[in-house]
Structure 1
Amino acid sequence: MTKTKEMGINHRTMKQKLAEYRHQPLSLLLLALTLLAAVITVGVLLCLIVYILYKGIPNMHLSLFAWKYTTENSSMMPAIINTLLMTVVTLMIAVPIGVFSAIYLVEYAKRGNKLVKVIRMTTETLQGIPSIVFGLFGFLMFVVACNFGFSLLGGAITLALMVLPLIMRTTEEALLSVPDSFREGSFGLGAGRLRTIFRIILPSAMPGILAGIILAVGRIVGETAALMYTAGTATTVCTGPFRSCRTLAVHMYQLLCEGQYMGPAYATAVVLLVMVIVINALSGWIAKKLTK
């Protein structure tokens, strides 16, 4: 009976919405455009996934996962390890700076402060700068001026500068979404500002913060231009912060540029796709656990 009532309510709701759209053609047009955009987005994504799997799975071989890279096996295992190292080091640099900067902007700076407006405008501007510009800046600053050479550390700092605006803005929006009643209740119970932030505000905003970190991880894993000028293209596993290395995306790009390893390049694309999906799924699961 309950299901029948719910179906009847949903049917009446749909009729009401259709009646409203008849009187408001513009709303119907916007709904159609929204649905069209959603269908196109999902369709393009599915086409890319099917194409990558179709081209890459037949070229998957055990030799691609050998510990040492050679011109015969075109192993991607060193690149996989370097990608994980690059992601961890970049997040260790960018996440604390981005989160604490957002905490200052939301919780400590006065609302309407001109400095806050300047910082927000700067971060939004940095988000629109192409990655190749970050790569050239990282090359001049870290490779040449700081004498790091082509290194993991130089590439990680450059990527941290790239994803820092993203983490700052998403964290700031997540903190702003927390109701002021949470802060007022905590202050009313005698808690200080620092305790309120770490025990009340941050746990409530954690899903939004993790969403920004997930987006940052996706950009780190798929970046090529900035890393070619800072981290280099060495085919060995990185054994130190000042050693050159290539990530999985750079490895795929190099194979495609050489033109003789198209099969391994498509296989690398499959592994890169699976890695991004696994990282996003794992991050989403962690976000749900923290929300509970």
Structure 2
Amino acid sequence: MAGTTLPVMAQEMTPMDAPDEPNAIPLNTGGVDNQPASESWFEQWGDPMARNITEATLTPFLPDPDKANGAAVLVAPGGGFMWLSMGNEGWEVAEALNEQGVAAFVLKYRLQPTADRLEDFEGQMNRRFEEADTGSDGEEAPDPRPRWDLSNQLEDAEAAWQMIADNADEWGVDMDRLGMMGFSAGAGLTMHVTMNSETARPAFIAPIYGGMGEVEVPKDAPPLFVAIAVDDFLYNGDTGLIKSWYEAEKPVELHLFQNGGHGFGLGNPDRTSNIWFKNYIHWLDVNGFLEEAE
């Protein structure tokens, strides 16, 4: 992983009050799950982050009816399954999708427990990223895919999928054009849903800066769009995910950017990765997901 860039967790984490989420709909999955602390929020890099989530929610973002085309995306923010970058990888992405006439649904899914005190949590995160850099001296890099049970997160995603289906007419969603997009850990959840769910079957998927290892491709695998930067600490030169989709003869598109680091969301200043979202919308259009069926 020589030449990669780890996220700088040294940037100060600032406690913040939980923001208003007037449109967030409880999914009624799970409960406290022996969580040592209640849901709390902090700000870092100017973005709102949530942690210790024990009750999942779904927040609909619906486009202007004059722009709406029926396509929709379930959006899963990232954060190592220990926090969620709700602004950078959730709400802002949903608003950008709305501008393209696409309905978006931000999933605030349950997380692994973290320390109650923000200072202790910051220490946990620094240790997490130090472990992720194990391969920086030329040794084999660790497998970035989740190494723990994701049954809670899968249940949340499936409940979100069912909620969208139940309200598809009201929300103007064509279920045949409902896809899923995730960032970092959310990319891992997107892949987990695609490969394990019997009820949530995305029409297209976009794991953004997630794990790139080989996978077993489902027979009904959807078209795949991937974006990741070379200087992302999760990238170690492996494109096994792309090879898996290619060998299964499923539609696949990869955007491997020179720079952008990890967690670039819709873009970082002066990085080549900044054009990924424009490419994604073009990909959706070319594949017919932005056109209503006759």
Check whether TM > 0.5. Answer: no
Specify which structure has the bigger relative contact order, considering alpha-carbon pairs within 8 angstroms and separated by 6 or more residues.
Answer: 1
TM-score (norm 2): 0.26
- Choose 1 or 2 for highest CA Rg: 1
More strand by share: 2
After TM superposition, the score normalised by the length of structure 1 is: 0.26
